[in-house]
Chains A and B, each alone.
Chain A
Amino acid sequence: MQSKFSNGTARITRLGRRGCDLLEALGRAGIFLFQSAIGVPSREGWRLWLQQMHFVGVLSLAIVLVSGLFIGMVLALQGYTILVDFGAEQALGQMVALSLLRELAPVVAALLFAGRAGSALTAEIGLMKATEQLTSMEMIGVDPLRRVVAPRLWAGFVSLPLLTVGFSVVGIWGGYLVGVEWLGVFEGSYWSNMQANVAFINDVGNGMIKSAVFALVVTWIAVFQGYDLVPTSEGISRATTRTVVYSSLAVLGLDFMLTAVMFGGL
């Protein structure tokens, strides 16, 4: 009885400690975000930001666009086989566009971004920490939060929404290739149904809001995991994994909540 009781308290103690650790980490991450993202960039800051836009954004372009193309093509193919049973294949354009703009482009682009750019950010900053580059920068009198972290954060915030736009555009084009060029849906109805049924604010706008939220969360997680990791090779590998896992879960969870708020009333 005695041991069962002490086992129970030990478990509760552990749970409590985990809770405290979690809260503390959240607090650290919040202060970290505030200290690095707030502030006016210098001319050098703009240059560093542009450099990071290349690494984080431009280099993710290929994987995002190719995935967008395939997803658009698959959507059209799947959509067509269902719609054609009801004789409603002329609604294909609307279906492809709405699925992409509202859901798939923001979510899939964010997941790909976490895997391609987020993990790289974590590993890069983590290695800089492990080799004392961040410490030596501090001792030179340069704040690594402003010099290393801020350009990467802002590059992530800006590039993911842009990548999402690219994803949607290429996806809609992929849907056109399969639906119109291959399966023979009338081109006029593909485009005009899309034009008539996609609302700029409700569909495009909400999709972009989702994407902006995902950009914030994924980049924040990636950069913080790199900055906060245990500076060993094992620590870097764990933090990189954590970045991908946490970002993916956060994106999918937030997507549900945002969808419920944005489209739940319809």
Chain B
Amino acid sequence: MTDAPFIEIEDLYFSRGEHEIFRGVNMTIPRGKVTAIMGPSGTGKTTLLKLIGGQLTPERGRIVIDGQDVHQLSRKALFALRKRMGMLFQSGALFSDLDVFENVAFPLRVHTDLPNAMVRDLVLLKLQAVGLRGARLLTPAELSGGMARRVALARAVALDPELILYDEPFVGQDPISMGVLVQLIKRLNQALQLTSVVVSHDIKETLSIADYLYLIADGQVVAHGTPQTLDTNQDPRVSQFIHGEPDGPVPFHYPAEAFYRDILGEPPMTKTG
């Protein structure tokens, strides 16, 4: 294994319509480590994962995964690269026409020629790890949001990828499964030497598993470092986020005109959030 970073993001610019999401983001994601990307909601964390996965194309800058520039690849090469990645979607995104077992078996069936008995064993192993071996015959519609996300995790690791992108893995989990998930992500990383990218704003859980953290706000990386260095970071934006304080330089409110004017109906009555 080399020490070269697994993902390099250089000078990334991306916007949706008029709204600029990234303005020159630079990141280095080390191989075999858990890297967390944190930031207030609406800062484009999910968008960043989609850019890494090659589903969106940046306006400027590049993303290099293991030496390959994602957005210069042909369609075929991009799909080949994606076989080496797993992505856990916020919604789970399970295939609604397949049951839990077949959802987890899907990557194995399409990318390998393994005999059925072996597919079965592998799927049951993955489902056991997320605690849902007993739910294998349920359809996605019968699962709760948290369960669907755990099945999706089993599917994301079915092919033992080199890189896993986690989009908000902890949202909607009860305390028990949350603890198990945190352990699972950590164990997967240590046992298989995976590179993991976790996008989240659950500070406690994320700090407990991350080796390295990036904090993004206003379309840029505002701070990065190990959990210890960020915990003691003096930047008010960083400490406000890490310690979850409502008052500080990062506004809680979506941009709007002054509250009293909005309520009292003084002109101009503009549409606000």
Which residues of chain A have a CB within 8 Å of any CB of chain B?
44, 127-128, 131-133, 135-143, 147
Residue pairs across A and B with CB atoms within 8 Å: the count is 53
3 closest residue pairs by CB, A with B: A136-B93, A132-B93, A141-B83
Closest to B107 in A: A140
Contacts of B83 in A (CB 8 A): 140-141
Asked if B85 is at the interface (CB within 8 A of a chain A CB), the reply is: yes
State whether A141 and B80 are in contact (beta carbons under 8 Å apart), knowing that A135-B55, A136-B87 are contacts in the complex: yes
User: Do A141 and B93 touch (CB < 8 A)?
Assistant: no
Closest to A136 in B: B93
Output the least CB separation between B51 and chain A (Å). Answer: 13
Query: CA separation between A142 and B159, bound complex, in Å?
Result: 13
Asked if B96 is at the interface (CB within 8 A of a chain A CB), the reply is: yes
Output the least CB separation between B45 and chain A (Å). Answer: 16
Q: What 0/1 pattern do residues 14 to 54 of B give for CB contact below 8 A with A?
A: 00000000000000000000000000000000000010010
User: Do A133 and B95 touch (CB < 8 A)?
Assistant: yes
Contacts of B86 in A (CB 8 A): 139
Contact among B80, B91, B106, B111 for A132, CB-based, below 8 A: B91
Chain A binding site: helix, strand, loop or mixed by DSSP?
Answer: helix
Query: CA separation between A131 and B97, bound complex, in Å?
Result: 12
Output the least CB separation between A11 and chain B (Å). Answer: 23
Output the least CB separation between B223 and chain A (Å). Answer: 29
Asked if B264 is at the interface (CB within 8 A of a chain A CB), the reply is: no
User: Do B91 and A131 touch (CB < 8 A)?
Assistant: yes
User: Do A143 and B75 touch (CB < 8 A)?
Assistant: yes
Query: CA separation between A133 and B89, bound complex, in Å?
Result: 10
Query: CA separation between A127 and B94, bound complex, in Å?
Result: 12
Query: CA separation between A89 and B29, bound complex, in Å?
Result: 83
Closest to B95 in A: A133
Number of interface residues of B (CB under 8 A): 23
Asked if B82 is at the interface (CB within 8 A of a chain A CB), the reply is: yes
Contacts of B82 in A (CB 8 A): 138-141
Query: CA separation between A44 and B111, bound complex, in Å?
Result: 12
State whether A136 and B89 are in contact (beta carbons under 8 Å apart), knowing that A141-B83, A142-B79 are contacts in the complex: yes
Asked if B110 is at the interface (CB within 8 A of a chain A CB), the reply is: yes
Q: Which of B143-164 contact A (CB under 8 A)?
A: 152, 155
Query: CA separation between A127 and B91, bound complex, in Å?
Result: 14
Closest to A139 in B: B87
Contact among A44, A135, A143 for B93, CB-based, below 8 A: A135
User: Do B80 and A140 touch (CB < 8 A)?
Assistant: no
State whether A141 and B111 are in contact (beta carbons under 8 Å apart), knowing that A131-B96, A133-B96, A135-B55 are contacts in the complex: yes
Contacts of B89 in A (CB 8 A): 132, 135-136, 139
Contacts of A139 in B (CB 8 A): 53, 55, 82, 85-87, 89
Instruction: For the A-B complex with A133-B93, A133-B95, A140-B82 known, give 14 more contacts whose Cβ atoms are closer than 8 Å.
Output: A131-B91, A132-B91, A133-B96, A135-B93, A136-B93, A136-B95, A138-B82, A139-B53, A139-B85, A140-B83, A141-B79, A141-B80, A141-B107, A143-B75
Contacts of A44 in B (CB 8 A): 110
Contacts of A131 in B (CB 8 A): 91, 93, 96
Closest to A51 in B: B97
Closest to A42 in B: B110
Output the least CB separation between B57 and chain A (Å). Answer: 14
